[in-house]
Amino acid sequence: MKIKLLNNRIIFLGLMVCLLLSLVLIYFIFKPEAQKHEKDLNQQNQLSSENNNIQKIDDTNHQGKIPNLAPSLQGTEIDCPIQVDANGKLILTVGIRSCFDYFFSSLGEKTETELISDIRQYLKVTLPESASSYASYLLDQYVAYTHALKNLKPTSSFTTGDAEGFQKVLDQMYKVQQQFFNSAEINALFGNERNLNQFNIDQMRIHANKSLNAQQKATELANLIDQLPSTLADGVRVSMQFAELQQLTKEIEEKGGSAQELRNMRESLLGAEAADRLEKVDQEEAGWQKQVNSYLSEREQILKSNASDSNKQQSIEQLRNSTFATKEDLLRAQSYEIMNDQKKLN
């Protein structure tokens, strides 16, 4: 009996030893992974903490330092498309002047001194130190330039349409710019403005040249646009072409010019494809005018008839609906009716 009990104890102790050994083995097998995992977690937490600190620093640097805008500018997007290169140096573009003009547009709500302070603060907050310093210098020069420009007086009197008089003023402005800026700065800040002003003066010269016919003027104007910088040409072309087309068309009509003269002018100004499209529009407009004139004539006969007012209105509606197929044409026809009736009253 004692031997059996002793054997049982030995077996029990053996099992316990095996269990302890297994636990120790398991611990040493998995302990390095757990340590590694814990280490990784610590590193991730540390990186996350560092990133949070960087973000907080960045937010702190910008928070509350953007100047308070004047009431008229509040709620608008600050128009300051200022650029810097990879080294943090200021890139000369017209966006610098746009930024200055954006703030100065609220002059009156704030004093000039206050606005200069606002611009300096904005530049300091949003730009690297080198770029901010240069931009602040340009701000000082720009303010001095605008003051000098206010004192600029034309060298001679001139009237509207006097191309040579405007040319003298433009040349004076350029001389003042040279007093405050170098050539690169002038080109960046005032290049677009000067090109447009010079374009308008040259445009006046072409229109004032009585030796040119409409087609020749159109050719000269088209060449003038081609000489503009690519950044300006497209924008000017759209607005100029419409105005010039109307003016040159009026000149041809007043002189009793032919359809071929009109075609030549359009082709010189706009190109062959555009001239073709305009001819098609002319044909469509002529067809429309013929159609609406016929409708107004029949409508007039209905109005002069002895029918009752209700029958007249019903007949006119039937005539209108049978003459014009689209909703747009119907609305346009009704507009012509109103204009036609007003002419009769006058």
The pLDDT tens digits for 78-98 are 999 999 999 999 999 999 999
Instruction: Give the pLDDT score at 240.
Output: 75
The continuous run of DSSP H or E covering 91 comes out as strand 90-91
Instruction: Give the pLDDT score at 159.
Output: 66
DSSP state of 306: S
Mean of pLDDT values over 325-342: 88
For the residues of 23-90, what is the DSSP string, one character each?
Answer: HHHHHHHHHHHHHHHHHHHHHHHHHHHHHHHHHHHHHHHHTTTSPPPPGGGTTSPP----EE-TTSPE
- Tens of pLDDT, residue by residue over 249-304, are 988 888 888 889 999 999 998 889 989 999 999 898 889 999 999 999 999 999 98
Instruction: Give the pLDDT score at 47.
Output: 41
How many angstroms separate the CA atoms of 51 and 222, rounded? Answer: 58
pTM equals 0.61
Instruction: Give the pLDDT score at 178.
Output: 96
- Tens of pLDDT, residue by residue over 189-234, are 999 899 889 998 999 999 889 899 988 999 998 888 888 877 776 7
pLDDT at 10 over 50: no
Instruction: Give the pLDDT score at 301.
Output: 92
Mean of pLDDT values over 31-43: 44
Instruction: Give the pLDDT score at 120.
Output: 95
Among 58-62, 119-123, 165-169, the minimum mean pLDDT is found in 58-62
- Tens of pLDDT, residue by residue over 121-147, are 999 999 999 999 999 999 999 999 999
Mean of pLDDT values over 303-319: 91
pLDDT at 99 over 80: yes
Tally the C-alpha atoms within 13 A of residue 323's C-alpha that lie toward its C-beta.
25
Instruction: Give the pLDDT score at 233.
Output: 66
Q: How confident is the model at residue 61 (pLDDT cuts 50, 70, 90)?
A: very low
Mean of pLDDT values over 322-331: 89
Q: How confident is the model at residue 340 (pLDDT cuts 50, 70, 90)?
A: confident
**Residue whose structure tokens are 């050994």:** 21
Report residue 6: phi and psi, to 5°.
-65, -40
Instruction: Give the pLDDT score at 94.
Output: 94
